Amino acid sequence: MLSLNDPISVIRGIGPKQRALFAKLNIFSVEDLLYYFPTSYQNRRNVKTLDSVRHMERATIIATVCGEIKEIRTRKRMKILKIPIKDNTGRGFITFFNSSFLKNVFRKNETYYFYGNINIVGSEIELNHPEYCNIKHDSLEKFCSIKPQYGLTKGLTQKRIIDNIEQILLENPLILKEYLPGGILKDNNMCDIDYAIKNIHFPSSPRALKVAKYRLVFEELFFMQLGLIMIKKKVIKSNKGIQFKALSQFNDLVKALPFKLTNAQQSTLNDILGDMQLPKEMNRLIQGDVGSGKTIIALLAMYLAFLNGYQSTLMAPTEILAEQHFKSFKNMLEPLGVNVGILSRSVKNKDEVISQIRDGNLDMVVGTHALIQDKIQFYKLGLVVTDEQHRFGVRQRSFLKQKGSSPDVLVMSATPIPRTLSLILYGDLDISIIDELPPGRKHIKTHHITNKKVYKLYDFIKEELNKGRQAYIVCPLVEESEKIDAESAVDLYNDLSETIFKSWNLALIHGKMKADEKDSIMKRFEAKKVDMLISTSVIEVGINVPNATIMVIVNAERFGLAQLHQLRGRVGRGQFQSYCFLISEGKSNVTKERMKTMEDTNSGFVIAEKDLELRGPGDFFGTKQHGLPELKIADIFKHKEILKKAQKDAFKVLEDYRLLDLEEKKRLKYKVRQLFGDVFKDFTI
Ligand code: ADP
Ligand code: MG
């Protein structure tokens, strides 16, 4: 008898060579193989006679070879095997390309099942490359079943996978383990694991397949949710947080702001103040579109921590952004007696800053990843903020948090995420949404153009520069690459600054420059000493120069929708009408649809939904980076409804955890660990 944990080499017929092939598909154990689900199915149940088939349909026919098998050579040196067939109702041909070996497989006057695509040319019926079986070898019922199709790797055949799975299931009827608690199965009217695994591979009917699939999708989403809730519970339960007090100086600052908070900002701030005043840890996500004004909210929360005698820190994904936050924090808070510092790779007096953090001489520290180094120790850290959270993983967030003893945590993201999805990605966080832009913002006019129109565009840019505005041009690459035919920022800069834009001040900025070099260029841009900035996507997040009104994106098809939206968000930050130009020759439908989406909407939420639809969630979020499990069968986008149910049940199971029997508990834990792997190393269940 096999068991689920056995390596696949215990399966008859799997030697070292096969084992290596399976490994390529991430199949190592018997369980891996049983959970290697088909990517599609052939439904061969459409049995037809030759007089009733239709062009282009997929059908099974039962026919007899009724003449000589001929091999024809075409002009393009293809060999076509042509086999005449007939049934009671008519005649036709089977054809195979370059398959001489089949000549001896089919025999005259013998009858076969054929399944494939029907091709009717003139009055001649053809089946090209059908699946086939001699009726002597199989029953019609068997041949006509729903056949699984698996993702393959070179050297591994469908038949090999099918045979191996069939063999395991036949010879080891008790091998599968039920991981879902009985109550959950019953409440949801779901099939057991035996039925599910059998029918996902070898469905006895379309309905059985549906039933099996539902259960397996549910199971996967259920365990993912369970894991996320466990993380969340662990984080909250184990740590009693700091109870901050509301103080009158806080309201003084809110009143003294140069603008009135929007309603959405105010309600988010209320959420945060509520959290901070509880003796529990805050774990809150602020989700707000580009330009919605998240920074000021972080600043206010950090100020409250300061008033309560705690240090706080804000981590940003790039040096430019950290620098920008540092400056605005300093401007606003130093007059109020707050000592603000910055820590990033390129900061010169690093050691001094580090010791000031340790001694508590700095009240607030803004920085980059440099903040999570081992040697950084805070004196009394009370609040941790990460900006542009989508750039960081779950782990980095937890590293920063560990710099304090149960500090409150605030994370901010400009990647708008459909609500159901944020429950997954940030299942361990409470969420506040800023769904409103500050008043007076103008809609950014967006146009998709091709290179032909680029000179017209340059004229338009000149007009804007003449009015005193500034512009960005963003290119996807730093240097010319032979492989990728994309315009490089360096080349474009050289070109434009010597010709068309000779009389303006242009500057170049890219990721390979030293941080202080980048920094000084950004400073000059902010001070209006540079009219047009040519850059790679290093300027993507957070940069705030309200006088800039034009964003040009070269080879726009190379950027994802979310990224384009971020880039576009660099303009439209002041009182002037702003424009975004997407230059792209991309002719694929997906590219066209992306460009059109950008033209049609300024809403990050609409764009996020569209991006999900066009690319799928895996790509969009880089789930691995988030430390989320890779899903085998569930699709968090497609299966939103099942996800909601699974989530509810996961909560319920944890609430009634005591009521489960020991074996049920053991299996739940096993499955969560298996799904989350690495991430769960940080957490004990
Ligand atoms: P993001 O949410 O993209 O990080 P920022 O925090 O950088 O946005 O804010 C964008 C700009 O809007 C900043 O210049 C900021 O000072 C300004 N701002 C923020 N809140 C308001 C408000 N309530 N009214 C007017 N301007 C605001
Ligand atoms: Mg921001």
CA of 293 to the centre of ligand 1 (A): 3
Looking at ligand 1, which atom is closest to the CA of residue 288? Answer: 2
Pocket of ligand 1 (CB under 6 A): 259, 261-262, 265, 288, 290-296, 414, 438, 542, 544, 573
Q: Which two tokens stand for residue 679?
A: 């991430």
What is the residue whose two structure tokens read 């792209």?
584
Q: Please answer whether residues 476 and 536 qualify as being in contact, where contact means their C-beta atoms are separated by less than 8 angstroms.
A: yes
Q: Which of 21, 28, 39, 22 is nearest to 4 (CA)?
A: 28
502: which residues sit within 8 A by CB, 6+ positions away?
A: none
- Per residue in 329-363, pLDDT (tens digit) is 999 999 999 999 999 887 889 999 999 999 999 99
pLDDT at 35: 95
Q: How far is CA 245 from the centre of its chain?
A: 39
Helix axes of 589-600 and 604-615: crossing angle, nearest 10 degrees: 170
pLDDT at 577: 94
Ligand nearest to the CA of 331: 1
Output the residue whose Cα is nearest ligand 1's atom 9.
293
CA of 356 to the centre of ligand 2 (A): 26
Q: Please answer whether residues 585 and 558 qualify as being in contact, where contact means their C-beta atoms are separated by less than 8 angstroms.
A: no
CA of 259 to the centre of ligand 1 (A): 9
Q: How far is CA 62 from the centre of its chain?
A: 46
Among 254, 259, 299, say which to mutate for ligand 1: greatest number of ligand atoms within 8 Å of CB.
259
Q: Which of 333, 347, 290, 295 is nearest to 316 (CA)?
A: 295
> Coil, strand, or helix at residue 384?
strand
pLDDT at 329: 96
Distance separating alpha carbons of residues 646 and 220, to the nearest angstrom: 9
- Per residue in 296-318, pLDDT (tens digit) is 999 999 999 999 999 999 998 87
Looking at ligand 1, which atom is closest to the CA of residue 296? Answer: 6
pLDDT at 496: 93
Q: Calculate the CA dihedral of residues 410, 416, 418, 423 and round it to 10 degrees.
A: -20
Q: Please answer whether residues 50 and 86 qualify as being in contact, where contact means their C-beta atoms are separated by less than 8 angstroms.
A: yes
Cβ neighbours around 437 below 10 Å, total:
18
Length of the chain: 685
CA of 125 to the centre of ligand 1 (A): 68
Output the residue whose Cα is nearest ligand 1's atom 4.
294
Ligand nearest to the CA of 317: 2
Distance separating alpha carbons of residues 354 and 401, to the nearest angstrom: 17
From the number of C-beta atoms within 10 Å of its C-beta (0-12, 13-18, 19+), residue 452 rates as: exposed
Looking at ligand 1, which atom is closest to the CA of residue 440? Answer: 25
Cβ neighbours around 75 below 10 Å, total:
5
Output the residue whose Cα is nearest ligand 1's atom 24.
438
Looking at ligand 1, which atom is closest to the CA of residue 387? Answer: 4
Task: Kindly state the DSSP code that residue 371 receives in the 8-state scheme.
Answer: G
CA of 283 to the centre of ligand 2 (A): 19
First to last CA, the chain: 32
From the number of C-beta atoms within 10 Å of its C-beta (0-12, 13-18, 19+), residue 594 rates as: buried
Distance separating alpha carbons of residues 555 and 582, to the nearest angstrom: 8
CA of 438 to the centre of ligand 1 (A): 7
At position 599, the amino acid (one-letter code) is E
Output the residue whose Cα is nearest ligand 1's atom 15.
293
CA of 294 to the centre of ligand 2 (A): 6
Residue 90 β-bridge partners: 87
CA of 254 to the centre of ligand 1 (A): 14
Output the residue whose Cα is nearest ligand 1's atom 5.
293
Output the residue whose Cα is nearest ligand 1's atom 20.
293
pLDDT at 482: 47
CA of 76 to the centre of ligand 1 (A): 65
Task: Kindly state the DSSP code that residue 531 receives in the 8-state scheme.
Answer: S
> Coil, strand, or helix at residue 639?
coil
> Coil, strand, or helix at residue 505?
coil
Looking at ligand 1, which atom is closest to the CA of residue 573? Answer: 11
pLDDT at 19: 93
pLDDT at 620: 42
Q: Which of 573, 516, 517 is nearest to 542 (CA)?
A: 573
- Per residue in 475-531, pLDDT (tens digit) is 886 555 545 545 578 889 999 999 999 999 999 988 778 877 887 888 899 899 999
Distance separating alpha carbons of residues 681 and 685, to the nearest angstrom: 10
Among 296, 389, 412, 540, say which to mutate for ligand 1: greatest number of ligand atoms within 8 Å of CB.
296
555: which residues sit within 8 A by CB, 6+ positions away?
A: 475, 476, 486, 487, 583, 584
**Ranges of the chain whose pLDDT falls below 70:** 231-239, 389-397, 415-428, 477-487, 538-542, 615-629, 677-685
pLDDT at 199: 96
Distance separating alpha carbons of residues 553 and 573, to the nearest angstrom: 18
Q: Please answer whether residues 325 and 386 qualify as being in contact, where contact means their C-beta atoms are separated by less than 8 angstroms.
A: no
- Per residue in 104-127, pLDDT (tens digit) is 889 999 999 999 999 998 889 999
Ligand nearest to the CA of 321: 2
Distance separating alpha carbons of residues 86 and 50, to the nearest angstrom: 8
Distance separating alpha carbons of residues 291 and 438, to the nearest angstrom: 8
Q: Which residues of 80-117 are buried (b: 16+ CB within 10 A; e: fewer)?
A: bbebbbebeebebbbbbeeeeeeeeebeeeeebbbbbe
Distance separating alpha carbons of residues 252 and 273, to the nearest angstrom: 15
CA of 387 to the centre of ligand 2 (A): 7
Q: Which of 639, 664, 604 is nearest to 224 (CA)?
A: 639
Looking at ligand 1, which atom is closest to the CA of residue 262? Answer: 23
pLDDT at 673: 80
Among 331, 544, 602, say which to mutate for ligand 1: greatest number of ligand atoms within 8 Å of CB.
544
What is the residue whose two structure tokens read 């379309």?
206
Distance separating alpha carbons of residues 92 and 61, to the nearest angstrom: 11
CA of 297 to the centre of ligand 1 (A): 9
**Helices (H), ranges, 109-242:** 140-143, 158-171, 182-187, 193-201, 206-238
pLDDT at 241: 86
Ligand nearest to the CA of 316: 2
pLDDT at 636: 73
Cβ neighbours around 349 below 10 Å, total:
11
Task: Kindly state the DSSP code that residue 344 receives in the 8-state scheme.
Answer: -
pLDDT at 101: 84
Among 260, 295, 435, 567, say which to mutate for ligand 1: greatest number of ligand atoms within 8 Å of CB.
295
CA of 545 to the centre of ligand 2 (A): 12
